[in-house]
Every structure is written in C-alpha cells, then in structure tokens.
Structure 1
Amino acid sequence: MLRRLFSILIMTLISLAATAQELNCKVNINHDKITGVDNEVFVTMQRSIIDFMNGHKWTNDDFATNEKIDVTVFINITGNKINGDPDAYTGTLSIQASRPVYSSGYTTALVNYVDRDLVFKFTQYGALSFDDNRVSGVDAMQSNLTAVLGYYAYIIIGLDYDSYALEGGTNYFKKAQNVVNNAPEQGKSISGWKAVEGTRNRYWLADQLLNTRFADMRSFWYSMHREGLDSMYTKPTESRTRILFGLKKLYNVNRENPTSMLMQFFFAAKSEEIIHLLASTPKSERGQYITLLNSMDVPNAQKYNNLK
C-alpha cells in the first residue's frame, strides 16, 4: 500500500513538473519617487506581475522545471497621477532573460533591454488579464501593463526557441506582433507601439524579427547558441571559431540595415559574451573580428579595441 502511494506521489510530481509554465520570472519595483501612495499597492503590484508572468500559459509546449526561462523584470516608476488619475504611472521597464548552456553551469543572455515607454494603470484589488487578440481591462491605460508584459514574454520565448531551432521562434514573434497590432490606445498618452513614434520601440523590434531582411541575423542567433555555445564543452576551439566566423554574416546584415533596432537589441544582450570569446582567442586572430564589431557596435568599440 505504501509503495503504491509512493508511486502515485512520484507520478504526480513528474506530471506537475512536465506541465510547468515557461517562465521563471522575478520582479522588482522601485517607487522611491512616488509619494502619497500606500506601499502595499506596490507590494501587490509586484506579486500580481510575478503571478501573471509565471502563471500564464504562453505556449502549447510542456516545460520541465529545469527548462524554464529565467527572466528578471525591473520597473522603475518615475511618476504618477497621469491625467489626474492617482492609479496611473509612468516609468521604465528593464528586462533580462537567459537560458542555460548545454553541459555547463553557464547561462547565456537572451535579452538585456530597457523599455523607456512604460505607461500603465494599476489598482490594488484589480486582476491582471490578458488576451492575445484583444487586450482586456477596465481601460486602455490598465490594459497596457499586461500588453507590455505579454509582448516581452513572447519576444523572450521566441528568442529562446530560435536558439534551439533555426527560426523556431517565428510563431511567438508573430504573437508579439499581434499584441502590437491590438495594443491599447488612449489618445497620445500611450506610446511605444507605433512605427511613427520613432525607430526604436516595440513595433520595430517585432517587425524586424519577422522581416526577411534580418533572416541571416536569426540564422546567426541559432548558430551562435546551438552550434556554438552548446558545443563549447566538448569542442571549445571549434565552437568559438564558429561563432566569431559568423560575425561576417552579422556584419552584412548591419551594412544593409544600418542603425537598426534589432542590431542594437542584439548587442545589448551579447556584447559582453562576445568580448569574453574574443579574449579566449589568440591575439593574432582578433583583429579581423574587432574591425567587424567596431562597425556594428559603436558604443562598445573601446572594449573591443582593448583586446587588440
């Protein structure tokens, strides 16, 4: 009898692990600049966002616990009482995501990005709800919080899938684009979703991830992770060379699409990793790669040049 109960318990635990959600998301909220609001509101906000990100089923696939994508969200609230509404806030959203590298204790960055167009409404006792085709909520401002979170959840999952299979994340980039197309509107107070607002926002990130002009970049993303980093333990020299040699493909994409958001998004996540790979390469071989990187990633040019 005890053995049977033990077997049932084991099978239950296995079943729960197999159907675990996709994200392991941690959330931090800074509200130092906000006065006149009960601190408990921000405690509830943090808990609600964690539950939303980790509790929503973003894919049709089953993720084991060790397969979850690690995500960190940092919301810096810089203002409130937007249009006189005490529950409406402005701020920035910093988001980071990583996945484990095969046969190692190392994790590799998927996303390291700051979204500076965060406007949303949050009420302490209101539930966060989300629908892919129509973002729901009391009003547009309140819907915008889950729209932004859902958008980045799909971007992160798409990049994770792209790192395991060539263009494996396409369906999730399409879902992110669908969020863009159905984004809440409220006059001109909700920004970050429209092409006309600039060249660096949610619209352009989703658009470029799906645009065939950037297909080689996605091909490099797959090669860098699956054929490079995941093989580093068994074939370190060959894997490192494969990644660095692939920078030529990335260079060609950048030459045809200068100052693109996607290229900036890529290097925000990957520059430190590439610097580490270069540092492990003989000095006599670094120059060709440094030249390519300097033309693509100007903000980090000095770091590359330090490796000469």
Structure 2
Amino acid sequence: MLKHIRILLLSSLCLVFVSSAHAQELRANVSVQAGPKLSTGTDRKVLTTLQTALSEFINNRRWSDDAFTPAERIECNFLLNITDAPGNNTYKATLTIQATRPVFNASYNSSLLNTQDPNIVFKYVEFQPLEFNEQRIVGNDPLVSNLTATIAYYIYIILGMDYDSFSPRGGDPYFKKALNVVNNAPDGRDIAGWKAFEGNRNRYWLQDNLLNVKFSRFHDVMYQYHRMGLDQMYEDVSKGRAAIVNCLNMLMAIHEDVPNSMLMQVFFNAKSDELLKIFSAAPPQEKARAAQMMAQLDVPNANKYQQLR
C-alpha cells in the first residue's frame, strides 16, 4: 500500500516513465578515492575494482519487495575515501552518503540525507564478491562483512527517509531493517560505529533516534515538510512556506525534549541551505522567526542564518 501511494505521488510529479520494466530502488553514483595520506605503495587498481563492485552491489540488488520503474529510482551518492591501508588487504576510510528526492512540478531535487561516517574499516581482496545477507550479516570474516553491512545500513536509511517524505510513517519498515543490521553488525578489533557506548554520533544512534518514540514527530516533519511544504510551493508559495514553519515548530518541540540529538544534526545537514533559500523571500517577521528557530536548532550553522535577519 505504501509503495502504491509513492507511485501515485511520483506520477503526479510529472516524471517520465522511460520503461515499463521494473528496476532496482537506487540510482547511485559510487566513487572510491585514495586520500592524500594514503601510501604511494597502495595498488590503486584495486580501488577501481572496488568502485565497480560497490556500484553493482548497490544498484543491481533488490533492497525491498517493491517494484520501482527506472524513473522512480532514488538518486544518491556514495563516496568512499580511503585514508589508510595498513596491510593484509585492510583499509580504513570515511564514507559520505547523499540522497535526494524530486519536488512537485520542479526540476529541483531536495536533499534527504547528506552525512559522513568516519569509522569505516574493512577487508577487500580484488575481485572478491561483495555479499550481504539480512539473516547472517556478520558472515565468515567481520572485516569483510563490515563494508557491505555499512552500505546496506545506509541504503535502508535512505529508503526510510524517502518513504517518510511521501507517506506518513512510510519509512518505518526500512528503519527497522537498519536496526536489524545494527543488532547483528560485525564485531571485532578496529570495527566501530555500531554500538551506543562508542559515541553519540554513529550508526547506532541514528537508527535509535529514527525508531525512538521520543522522536516520533520527526516523521511527521519529514512528511509535512515535503508533501505539504515543498510539493505545494508550485501552486502556493506562502502556503508551502507556512507548512515548513510548522515543521520548524515541531522540530523545536523535539529539541526541547531531547536537546543536541543526532537526528536534528542529520536533518539540518541536509536542509540548511534549502531552508535559507525558502525563507530568503519570506516577509520580514516570518523570516526573522525562522532564522531564530533555525539558529537554535542548528547551532553549527547559526551564523549562516544571520543573513536572514
């Protein structure tokens, strides 16, 4: 049913269906890069092979039970920046993940997710198959499994964010899949990011926030921001902007209950520039109120919002 709603909404976004054949859920641009500190002795050809393998792993695999047409595929980017190669086919890296969603009657795509994970460590032997099994995530070697588990986790987060933006609480099944990855994640020396005690900004805390009842209003924000806000702006800019002001009020209520949450940071990492554009043309009183709320909700970008005052 949720998928049916999403199809109808995407159809109303005037997307052109170029084929009736069913395709996978994502259209991902994948890049594997060698960081500036990487040893010159590292075989760059292996990284090229890994890039191809990751692209096929992400784009050719079915990540849900739903059938997507090519035009429905979610646009996203995965940038794996290799920072160290300590030996024994082991690599350390940062992973940048971005995903967007189309806006009604516009050529504009709205950012759903724009985040970076600094805790990637994995083992990869050139041409080895990249495997992921929801029922047996760890596999035979935790370091080998850690890369595909991390990629799968973020794919489920992307799917959840996308579905949330089209239907109320539509992303829950995918956030639960991300939780399953966390609960069964690879464990071993140097592997980090999966456990609560390892910090307050990691994979554990993102899925925790997304499924925690304390943040239930965040899912209302995702739906109303996109469907009642952005998607309405073609017909009525003021009405759409008013819906987004209401979303800021809901985010403020969440912030008052749970200050300094990871979920708030993730939201504004994706939306800060967009919000600046939305409110730049607002009436002075509305602009000032929005700037005040955003500066309080998104402290790292507080100076950015000063230009609205």
TM-score (norm 2): 0.91
Tell me how far 1:139 sits from its aligned partner.
Answer: 0.8
Tell me the equivalent position of 2:51: 46
CA contact 1:34–1:78 (8 Å) conserved in 2: no
Pick from 33, 41, 45: which aligns with 1:36? 41
Tell me the equivalent position of 1:87: 89
Tell me the equivalent position of 1:63: 68
Tell me the equivalent position of 1:3: none
CA contact 2:42–2:85 (8 Å) conserved in 1: no
Tell me how far 1:91 sits from its aligned partner.
Answer: 1.4
CA contact 1:133–1:179 (8 Å) conserved in 2: no
Tell me the equivalent position of 2:290: 289
Distance 2:284 2:19 in 1: 49
CA shift digits 1:21-49 (9 cap, x unpaired): 00001111221423323222011100000
Identity of aligned pairs, percent?
Answer: 43
Tell me the equivalent position of 2:305: 304
Give the letter for the 1:27 counterpart. Answer: V
Tell me the equivalent position of 1:22: 25
Is 1:140–2:142 an aligned residue pair? yes
Change over 3 Å in CA distance of 1:93–1:15 after alignment to 2: same
CA contact 2:138–2:184 (8 Å) conserved in 1: no
Distance 1:24 1:260 in 2: 30
Is 1:72–2:73 an aligned residue pair? no
CA contact 1:155–1:172 (8 Å) conserved in 2: yes
DSSP 3-state at the match of 2:112: strand
Tell me the equivalent position of 1:179: 181
DSSP 3-state at the match of 1:134: coil
TM-score (norm 1): 0.91
Give the letter for the 2:297 counterpart. Answer: M
Tell me how far 1:15 sits from its aligned partner.
Answer: 4.2
Distance 1:256 1:133 in 2: 36
CA shift digits 1:284-308 (9 cap, x unpaired): 3212222211111011111111111
Tell me how far 1:229 sits from its aligned partner.
Answer: 0.8
Length, aligned pairs only: 290
Tell me the equivalent position of 2:105: 103
Tell me the equivalent position of 2:9: none
Tell me how far 1:137 sits from its aligned partner.
Answer: 4.2
CA contact 1:29–1:75 (8 Å) conserved in 2: yes
Tell me how far 1:138 sits from its aligned partner.
Answer: 4.3
Give the letter for the 1:205 counterpart. Answer: L
Is 1:270–2:275 an aligned residue pair? no
Q: Please say which structure displays the higher CA radius of gyration.
A: 1
Q: Comparing 126-135 with 167-176, which one deviates more in the overlay? A: 126-135
CA contact 1:73–1:95 (8 Å) conserved in 2: yes
Distance 2:137 2:247 in 1: 39
CA contact 1:129–1:136 (8 Å) conserved in 2: no
